[in-house]
Amino acid sequence: MIADNQEVDGLKVIDLGAGHASGAETLCGRIIATLKSQALLNESVGVGYIERNWPPALKQSGAWPLARLRQSFLNGALTRLIDPDSVLRSKIVEFVGKGDFGLASGTKPDGTYDRVWYQEQISPDEVAFDAGVFLLTKAKVKSIKEIKAPLEPPAVFHPVPLPEPPIQPPVESPIGPQARTLRIVGTIPPEIWNRLGTKIIPKLKSGSDLKIGDDFSVTFNVESAKVIETDLGQILKDLGLRDKIRIEGKV
């Protein structure tokens, strides 16, 4: 005779029969075998079975106290287990590690818990069959994570005004290389005009804006002007005009 809530008087009677006197099976063995054959006793339990038999009153909360879960396997509300404490403890460790269910302890006013285990290896010692430890559905675990996420408000960054940099005077960028204008001024004797044309004028033609009148003026960039000035000085020296002609606009 076993407890059965589906029976009118809450008891279910099972006739084991007379048995055989010569049989080696014990009476306890016969009882266990009969219960197993009628699906009233099992050696283990799976995820689907617990999900299908989750109490309707606890579906909204998604939390089943382990004390009540264990009692359901003892009072006939659920299938009986040969060793309920050992089986449930090992299976809950397995369920939590695989992410089939979560485990929590220590309730808080906001609906969260002091400690939640999910998809992680836990010690069997954490599975305590008391009212403060709960088996959680996947949906419940996800809702707890969503509640915890906004607890810490996002940091608000206030821009700090930076001092304005000092106003720098505008720097004029030269367009192209810097230039210097050289002017050759003085009196040239007629007898060396030809030599002047073959020596000085070709040198001046390498510059720009060459003008020849009473004097000579030509423009070079700074580096070229230095070289040309040196060359012109040597040419005037060779022509004996160093004292008669001066070069203005020296670099």
Task: Give the residue, 65 or 232, on which the prediction is more confident.
Answer: 65
Q: What angle, rounded to 10 degrees, do the helices at 66-74 and 84-98 form?
A: 130
pLDDT, residue 217, reads: 76
Whether residue 11 lies inside any domain: the answer is yes
| pLDDT-derived band at 58, boundaries 50, 70, 90 | very high
User: Among 54-63, 76-85, 100-109, 189-198, whose mean pLDDT is lowest?
Assistant: 189-198
Q: Provide the terminal-to-terminal Cα distance of the chain, rounded to the nearest Å.
A: 124
One domain for residues 49 and 35: no
One domain for residues 23 and 105: no
Whether residue 198 lies inside any domain: the answer is yes
Residues 6 or more apart in contact with residue 71 via CB below 8 angstroms? 77
One domain for residues 54 and 134: yes
One domain for residues 24 and 104: no
pLDDT, residue 206, reads: 76
Q: Over the stretch 160-197, which tens digit does the pLDDT of each residue have?
A: 666 666 776 666 655 556 777 877 777 777 777 677 77
| Domain extent at residue 23 | 1-40
Average pLDDT of the chain, as a whole number: 80
Domain tally for the chain?
Answer: 3
Whether residue 214 lies inside any domain: the answer is yes
Whether residue 99 lies inside any domain: the answer is yes
The DSSP code for 158 is P
Q: Over the stretch 32-50, which tens digit does the pLDDT of each residue have?
A: 777 777 767 778 889 999 9
One domain for residues 132 and 63: yes
Burial of 155 (0-12, 13-18, 19+ CB in 10 A): exposed
The pTM assigned to this predicted structure is: 0.49
Whether residue 166 lies inside any domain: the answer is no
Q: Over the stretch 101-110, which tens digit does the pLDDT of each residue have?
A: 999 999 888 8
